[in-house]
């Protein structure tokens, strides 16, 4: 900034102009000073920031120096480790090289063995081929012989059966089946109530005495079966004629034996009939015997039936009591009315060879 010195010799106009010029210059200088002051403040701020950055960089340099020292230690340690590893690797390589040499020798030996075995295998395959051909022929021979043996076994079995049949005399007993019982037909109170014998007026009602059922499986269908029932019983009620017939049951069909009634199928014909006696205290006995000339080859049950053979009123009934007397006080084996008889009935089947 330039200031013009005051001169007493200047006139007042000149002085005023000079003052104005100086004032303007002062203002301009003040503005410049303000600008310089602002620039100095900015420079001070920049210097402060640079100082902070320098301090931070100095701290970072200290840290980096420490890290470099640590890294140098680590590098030294790693170097030692790598040196040890290199030594071990070198030893391992030497060992592996020796092993490779040994293995190469073994491979060469194995190759020689493989060649030997291949030749032997080729020879064995030739031998196996011949053996398989022989084996197949033997298998075919065995199959043929097995068939022949099975056929011979069948023939032998048939021959044995024929011989056994020839050794067994016709008319001899093949087997015997029987049932014997003292059972009676009792009510829930233990009273002997028996079986009702009725006549419907237009025909007869056969009553099944099922406690004497007996079953047999004949050895051969052409054999004869002698059927025999020894029946002990009482009959009371309206005076009526009665008797017994026999039926057979094969599990499906029930058939009256041919000689149970006459050829006209007269229902009033029977196998046997006892002397009639309606006295409740008197017992009767009947032997019912018949031959089944056409026996079956399956399990067959032979059944005894009682049949009324008199045309009495359908409203009247006779009672059949098996193995005990009639009445409300039957025989009691446990100590009841000891004056009443207790009886035994038997059914027997005898198979006779044809």
165-191 pLDDT tens trace: 666 788 899 999 999 999 998 888 778
What is the model's pLDDT at position 338?
46
Q: What is the pLDDT of residue 311?
A: 62
- What's residue 101's pLDDT? 86
Is the model's pLDDT at 273 over the cut of 60? yes
What's the pLDDT score for residue 331?
Answer: 47
pLDDT for 312 beyond 70: no
Asked if the model's pLDDT at residue 239 lies above 60, the reply is no
Is 248 strand, coil or helix?
Answer: strand
Burial pattern 186-220, b for ≥16 Cβ within 10 A else e, equals: eeeeeebbbbebbbeeeebebbebebbebebebee
At 125-172, the pLDDT tens digits run: 888 888 788 878 888 888 998 999 998 998 988 777 666 666 678 889
Q: Which domains does the chain have, with CATH numbers?
A: 1-167 (no CATH), 173-352 (2.60.120.1340)
pTM: 0.52
A 10 A CB-CB count for 309 gives: 16
Cβ distance 291 to 302 under 8 Å?
no
Tell me the CA distances in angstroms from 109 to 112, 269, 311, one per residue in order: 5, 109, 117
- Between CA 345 and CA 181 the distance in angstroms is 6
**Beta strands 318-322; 224-237: pairing state:** antiparallel
Burial of 286 (0-12, 13-18, 19+ CB in 10 A): buried
């Amino acid at each position: 900034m330039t200031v013009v010195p005051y001169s007493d010799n200047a006139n007042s106009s000149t002085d005023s102009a000079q003052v104005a010029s100086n004032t303007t210059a002062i203002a301009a200088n003040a503005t410049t000073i303000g600008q310089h002051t602002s620039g100095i403040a900015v420079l001070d701020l920049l210097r402060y920031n640079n100082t902070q950055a320098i301090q931070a960089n100095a701290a970072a340099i200290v840290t980096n120096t420490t890290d470099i020292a640590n890294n140098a230690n680590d590098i030294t340690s790693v170097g030692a480790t790598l040196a040890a590893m290199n030594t071990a690797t070198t030893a391992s390589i030497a060992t592996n090289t020796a092993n490779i040499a040994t293995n190469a020798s073994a491979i060469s030996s194995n190759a020689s063995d493989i060649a030997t075995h291949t030749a032997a295998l080729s020879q064995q395959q030739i031998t196996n081929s011949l053996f398989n051909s022989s084996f197949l022929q033997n298998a075919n021979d065995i199959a043929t012989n097995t068939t022949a043996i099975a056929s011979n076994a069948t023939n032998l079995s048939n021959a044995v059966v024929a011989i056994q049949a020839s050794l067994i005399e016709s008319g001899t007993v093949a087997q015997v089946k029987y049932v014997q019982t003292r059972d009676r037909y009792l009510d829930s109170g233990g009273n002997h109530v028996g079986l009702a014998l009725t006549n419907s007026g237009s025909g007869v009602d056969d009553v099944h005495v099922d406690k004497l059922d007996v079953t047999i499986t004949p050895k051969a269908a052409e054999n004869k079966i002698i059927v025999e029932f020894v029946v002990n019983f009482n009959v009371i009620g309206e005076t009526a004629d009665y008797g017994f017939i026999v039926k057979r049951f094969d599990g499906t069909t029930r058939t009256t034996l041919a000689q149970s009634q006459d050829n006209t199928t007269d229902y009033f014909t029977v196998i046997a009939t006892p002397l009639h006696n309606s006295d409740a205290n008197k017992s009767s006995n009947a032997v019912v015997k018949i031959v089944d000339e056409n026996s079956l080859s399956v399990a067959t049950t032979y059944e005894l039936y009682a049949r009324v053979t008199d045309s009495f009123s359908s409203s009247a009934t006779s009672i059949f009591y098996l193995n005990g007397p009639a009445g409300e006080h039957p025989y009691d084996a446990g100590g009841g009315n000891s004056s009443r008889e207790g009886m035994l009935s038997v059914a027997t089947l005898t198979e006779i060879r044809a």
